[in-house]
A = this chain, B = another copy of it.
Amino acid sequence: MTLAENPINILIHELSKLPGVGEKTAMRLALHILRQPRDYGQRLARALEETVAKVRFCANCQNITTEKICDICASPKRDRTTICVVEDVADLKAIEKSQCYRGYYHCLHGSLSPVDGIGPEELKIGELVQRLTTQIETREIILATNPNVNGDATALYLSKTLKPFDKKITRLATGIPIGGHLEFIDQNTIARAMEGRRVY
């Protein structure tokens, strides 16, 4: 058996393609898996196979789902008049966890990042535009991209692109997080909080 044919080298090679996993980390992970009872590796393999076989992106909002349409889009209890646009499924889950929002979502699967070669075509923006032409009950679009360079650029691009639909377009507030200490907050956040101050 040559080195390249050895299953662990193949495993290390495949693991090292994951984001944030280099060859050394891949090796550490592979060795960790080997040291576990054999059924751990089998369970992980089965979960992977099941996931790639069954999980797909919601045809409506691009959330992950095992059906054609995700639970949120299929629910009759959601507010059909708002769409909250997020960068990632993880952001969607974070908003759901806060239980502050009962409308629909749209997951872009990334943010504009010219340096990484990510333009509008790489994101699910076309799908959002398509939705707005058919889901005429939409009244408000909340841009919940992250308050950083890429997220802000994405929000700006979206606000221009979606203007023709004549919907209310809003953006999540930026400011001091709850429990934060002014002393430890970066100056940009403080400047934004000052800019966005409200009458008490």
Contact = CB atoms under 8 A, between A and B. Distances in A.
A97 interface: no
Most chain B beta-carbon contacts within 10 A, residue among A18, A43, A66, A89? A18
Count identical subunits in the complex. 2
A134 to B, nearest CB: 25
B55 A51 contact: no
A118 interface: no
A18 B54 CA distance: 23
Contacts of A10: 47, 50-51
A69 to B, nearest CB: 13
A68 interface: no
A44 B66 contact: no
Contacts of A88: 31
Interface stretch (A33-41, A143-151, A168-176, A178-186): A33-41
17 contacts: A1-B66, A1-B67, A7-B66, A8-B51, A8-B55, A10-B50, A11-B48, A11-B50, A17-B40, A19-B29, A19-B32, A24-B90, A38-B52, A40-B52, A41-B48, A42-B49, A44-B48
Sorted nearest first, the 10 A-B pairs with minimum C-beta distance are A41-B52, A7-B50, A45-B48, A11-B47, A45-B45, A7-B51, A45-B49, A14-B44, A10-B47, A11-B51
